[in-house]
């Protein structure tokens, strides 16, 4: 029935947890996506650990990460609803996917406690179809959060004007409306594209250094 030697966890639990861990590590190198990346790393690591313990405990612990993944998709979808037609369509879709992901995770926890998976019982899905559906929902929730956050950053950015009044780049904002970082074109004695972070109460103070892409990532990982 199961692909792991112990028989404690079905193959999709290993696939979901491993995928979350790998995707989380990758997202730590994407500006603005570090929060999602860290949550996926934590969730994926817990899932892998949970797969090695007793079936009921492992199932209950592992599916918490799926609920968190679904909740993140719901939050991201809600944040882009008012950002034009693409945001409305994408936001509604992401909310629905997030709700389904969280529901599957909750059903797995109930299954661990009662031995009954209500979603599988109600839908009549066999183990293979159920596993792929659950895996696909988690992947869709994770990718949707990345895409939604990227769309949010682009849709809410504002031009950053130089001292001469000409466009010099863009301000990018977090989901609370505070400036997160700036992207600047070459100007003055700086011959390359670069970034500035924002710090302080309400992100009101722009950093003086001119950061490269990798330096911006390190700065974001450091908690600003």
Q: Do 36 and 119 fall within a single domain?
A: yes
Q: If you average pLDDT over residues 54-60, what whole number do you get?
A: 59
The answer to whether residue 112 is domain-embedded is: yes
Asked whether 61 and 46 are in contact (CB, 8 A), the reply is yes
The answer to whether residue 4 is domain-embedded is: no
Computed from CA positions of residues 62, 67, 68, 73, in that sequence, does the dihedral angle turn out positive or negative?
A: positive
The answer to whether residue 96 is domain-embedded is: yes
pLDDT at 224: 58
pLDDT at 1: 41
pLDDT at 32: 60
Q: What is the pLDDT of residues 79-106, one digit of tens each?
A: 899 899 999 999 999 999 999 999 998 8
Q: Do 136 and 94 fall within a single domain?
A: yes
Q: If you average pLDDT over residues 14-40, what whole number do you get?
A: 76
The answer to whether residue 5 is domain-embedded is: no
The pLDDT confidence band at residue 2, using thresholds 50, 70 and 90, is very low
């Amino acid at each position: 029935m199961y692909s792991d030697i112990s028989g404690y966890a079905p193959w999709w639990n290993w696939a979901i947890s491993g995928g979350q861990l790998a995707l989380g590590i990758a997202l730590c190198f994407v500006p603005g996506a570090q929060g999602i990346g860290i949550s996926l790393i934590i969730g994926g690591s817990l899932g892998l650990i949970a797969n090695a313990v007793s079936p009921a405990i492992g199932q209950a612990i592992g599916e918490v990460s799926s609920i968190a993944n679904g909740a993140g998709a719901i939050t991201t979808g809600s944040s882009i609803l008012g950002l034009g037609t693409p945001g409305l369509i994408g936001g509604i879709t992401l909310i629905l996917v997030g709700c389904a992901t969280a529901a599957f995770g909750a059903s797995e926890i109930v299954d661990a406690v009662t031995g009954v998976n209500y979603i599988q019982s109600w839908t009549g899905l066999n183990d293979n179809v159920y596993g792929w559906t659950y895996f696909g929902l988690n992947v869709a929730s994770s990718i949707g959060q990345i895409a939604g956050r990227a769309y949010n950053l682009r849709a809410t950015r504002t031009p950053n004007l130089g001292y001469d009044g000409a466009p010099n780049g863009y301000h990018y904002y977090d989901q609370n409306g505070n400036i997160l970082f700036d992207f600047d074109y070459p100007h003055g004695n700086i011959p390359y594209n670069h970034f500035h972070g924002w710090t302080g109460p309400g992100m009101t103070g722009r950093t003086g250094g001119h950061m490269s892409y990798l330096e911006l990532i390190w700065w974001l990982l450091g908690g600003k």
